[in-house]
Amino acid sequence: MVENVKDILFTQKDAAPFAFDADVSRVFEDMIQRSVPGYGLTLQMISVIAGLYAQENSKLYDLGCSLGASSLALAHGIKVDDCEIIGVDNSAAMLEKCRSNTQQSPVTIVLQQDDIQNTVIEDASVVVLNFTLQFIAKEARLLLLKRIYKGMRKGGVLVLSEKVCFVGAFEQQQHIALHESFKKAQGYSELEVSRKRQSLENVLIPEPISAHHARLKTAGFDEVQTWFQCFNFTSMLAYKR
Ligand code: GEK
C-alpha cells in the first residue's frame, strides 16, 4: 500500500472548488477516513456483500474507485470463481495510486480512466458506487442508474453510498452539526472544516434518502433498502430480482 499521508490540505489552501488532483490523491486515504463517518464499515460490508452476491464468471464494478479501497474490499469478499473487477475513475492522479495499491489483489482488477457515465456495464453481479454518485450532475443520475440496472444480472445488487441531506430544516441542521463535530473530533480545525465545506459546494450535491430510493425504483430496481446510516452519510442496496 502507498503510505497514508495526513490531510492538512485545507490548513494551506483556500476554498477553491474541490478537485481530485495530485494533492488530494496524496492525502485521500486519511481524508476520507476522517471525513466520512462509517467509511470503514462500508468497506467491510462491501466485502460481505460481494461474498453473498458475486456470481460465478461475472463482472463486479467499482465506479469512482479512487485509490482502490472498495475494489480491494470486493476482491477479498468474492467466494466464487472467475470474477473480474473493473475499477473506473476519471482522475489520473487517483488511478495512478490505485494501480499500485491493487497490484496484490487476489482477484484481477482492471482499471479504466474514464467518466463513469461512459462506462459500459455488462454481465455485472455487483456494482459499487461508494460515495461517487454525489459528484454526478443531478439530472444525469437517472440515466447512469438505468444503464447500471440494464447491465446487471438477475440476482445482482448495487451498493449506493452517499452523503445525503434532509427535507426538515431542524434535522438537516443537526446532522450537519453532528458531522462537523465528528470532523473536529478527528482532528480537523474549524477553519479546515469551513474551507472544505465551501470547496465542496456545487461539487458534491447531496439529496434526501427518499429521492435516492425513488430514483433507484424508476431506474428499474425491484427492491431498495437503506442498510447503513450515520448522521448525513448512508448506504443503500438496490436489487435486480
Ligand atoms: C472508495 N469509492 O474509497 N467519473 C469517474 N470518476 C469520478 C467521476 C466521474 N464522473 N466523478 C467523480 N469521480 C471510493 C471513494 S470518492 C468519494 C470515492 C469522496 C471520482 C473521483 O475522482 C473520486 O476518486 C471518486 O469519484 C469519489 O470507496 O471523495 O467523497
Q: 64: pLDDT confidence band, cut at 50, 70 and 90?
A: very high
- Which atom of ligand 1 is closest in space to residue 128's alpha carbon? 2
Tell me if the pTM is above 0.85.
yes
- Report DSSP state, residue 78: -
The fraction of the chain above a pLDDT of 70, given in percent, is 98
Domains and CATH numbers, the chain: 39-165+204-240 (3.40.50.150)
The phi and psi torsions of 54 (rounded to 5 degrees) equal -65, 130
Exposed, middle or buried by CB within 10 Å (0-12, 13-18, 19+), for 15?
Answer: middle
Q: Is the distance from CB of 80 to CB of 54 less than 8 angstroms? A: yes
Average pLDDT over residues 28-53: 97
pLDDT attached to residue 4: 74
Confidence class for position 10, pLDDT limits 50, 70, 90: confident
Q: If pLDDT is split at 50, 70 and 90, which confidence band does 7 have?
A: confident
Taking the CA of residue 43 as reference, the ligand 1 atom at the shortest distance is 28
- Cα–Cα distance, 215 to 220 (Å, whole number): 9
Q: What is the CA radius of gyration of the chain?
A: 17
CA of 211 to the centre of ligand 1 (A): 21
Which residue is closest in CA terms to ligand 1's atom 10? 115
Please state the rounded mean pLDDT for residues 97-118.
97
Calculate how far, in angstroms, residue 146's C-alpha sits from the geometric centre of ligand 1.
19
The count of C-alpha atoms lying within 13 angstroms of the C-alpha of 185, restricted to the half-sphere facing its C-beta, is 9
